[in-house]
Amino acid sequence: MITDYAKYLSSELPNYWGEIKTSWKSPESGKYIYLELTSGHPFLKHVEDFVNKNISARKVVSPTAENARMHYAYEMKNNPQNSEMIVSRMTRRMKEGKGDVKPPESANISIRSLKIIYNKELLATYKAFLNTNYSLGENSANKIGATKFQSKFQNDTEYTDFCAPVLNRRNGELMLFHGTSPYIGDLIAGGGFRPDLGKKNAKTGCYGMLGQGAYFSDNFSKIMTYSTCPQCGDYRCFCRDNTGRKFSKTALISRVCLGHSKLFPHLIHKAIPFTSARNDFRKVSSDHAKELGYDSVISRGTNNNFWNISSGNNEFMITGASQAYPEIIFDYVIGEDNVSDNNYFINLISGALAKYDGATKFRQSSQSKHAVRTLKNLVTRRESDKLVTAVNYYMSVSIKNSVLASQYGNPLKPGSRLHKMLQTAMVESGAYQDY
């Protein structure tokens, strides 16, 4: 927790910003300035270590065929503007419920770059809410008192005013994660969070699980299992750019003040007639929440429940834009941030095909013969991007009436010899995270 909270409340900026020796930059929008740190900087390493300890403290495997991910896959698959690779990956992702595809899971990360955001207007508005909330006394955010957080508490001894997950328990101020994209991250840095933009389901009249607002977590493992690849759109993939680097994902670390909080009733209430109370939360807009007298909702995960009957992770939802400050935006990759030579990948597939040809004592299916001819042609032409798409498709699932099907034929059966050999090659490439 912050050592001198009174000094922090009265200061304009977090003290550690002045301890980082680098110059401020301005984006094209000009709405904020930032300190940009790259691999090797002590503070970036400090944040990376904290995030990986947080991940290791509670690994997460997403529920199989979770509704939100399946809906996303369906929408992406049927969007005519999406690429062949995205259609292939999303069609494959929709087979998750049948056991053909594993759900996404957490793993340690490498932070490629990190920005510390200074938006003078946003920070001043946030500090005003902090001070107002602090003056109300301990009952202003008493709900976090019994909450068990994901990671061990940090003190700000190394970087003054920076620690996690709790900045000040009495004031209900936390340092939390929020998954995003580079584009949305820039919008948040420039204009803050917009709890009022949470979408309402036209059929049910409901917003998110906790109502309309901006959602945060103290568990990075959960954040990363909802993050998707900008190349193929999937949650787990082996995509790399034309330089051989993994595509990065983006996340925020934000200061969040809960204000007046309400606790979300969990599954235990199915045993007693309070199920309607759970649905009532989902129908509350951010404006209506203020009328009802609360600023945030806390959903305590299974760490807080002896019977293990709540949702898996802590979740925090705020209703007001002034309750959060987007302090850090960072780009990360799963595993090591290494470089894979495209020629190396092509050669691996070529080797797998040669090995397959060498096994002459078995009968090849028509799908396998067609796949071999197609892949050999792409290997000969050294077209690595198309080769990735083709391999991805052949290791996918059946697609009917698709451009991909007309171009590549039928996908391979998961238990077939060629499928297994391609899978082995992908694992050996060091970029395959899907099996």
Asked if residue 231 lies in contact with residue 247, where contact means CB atoms within 8 angstroms, the answer is yes
Whether residue 241 is found in the same domain as residue 112: yes
From the list 35, 187, 188, the residue with the least C-alpha distance to 114 is: 35
Cα dihedral value 163, 249, 59, 434, nearest 10: -170
Whether residue 169 is found in the same domain as residue 83: no
* CATH assignment of the domain containing 249: 3.90.228.10
Q: Is the pLDDT of residue 288 over 50?
A: yes
Mean pLDDT calculated for residue range 310-327 = 86
End-to-end Cα separation, the chain, in angstroms = 40
Side chain identity at residue 77, one-letter code: K
Whether the ω angle into residue 27 lies within 30 degrees of 0, i.e. cis, is no
Query: What local confidence, expressed as pLDDT, does residue 276 receive?
Result: 60
φ, ψ (nearest 5 deg) of residue 254: -125, 145
Number of domains in the chain: 2
Mean pLDDT calculated for residue range 133-152 = 76
Side-chain half-sphere of 129: how many Cα atoms within 13 Å? Answer: 23
Contacts of 148 (CB under 8 A, 6+ apart): 300, 303, 304, 314
Whether residue 367 is found in the same domain as residue 392: yes
* Mean pLDDT score of the chain: 84
Whether residue 131 is found in the same domain as residue 174: yes
Whether residue 32 is found in the same domain as residue 130: yes
- pTM across the whole model: 0.80
DSSP state of 133: H
Q: Tell me how far the alpha carbon of residue 68 is from its chain's centroid.
A: 13
Domain's final residue, options 334, 358, 384 = 334
On whether residue 57 sits in a domain, the answer given is yes
Mean pLDDT calculated for residue range 330-341 = 87
Asked if residue 330 lies in contact with residue 115, where contact means CB atoms within 8 angstroms, the answer is yes
Residue 84: give the domain boundaries. 67-103+340-428
Top pLDDT among 18 and 278 is at 18
Tokens of 315: 């979740």
Asked if residue 328 lies in contact with residue 47, where contact means CB atoms within 8 angstroms, the answer is yes
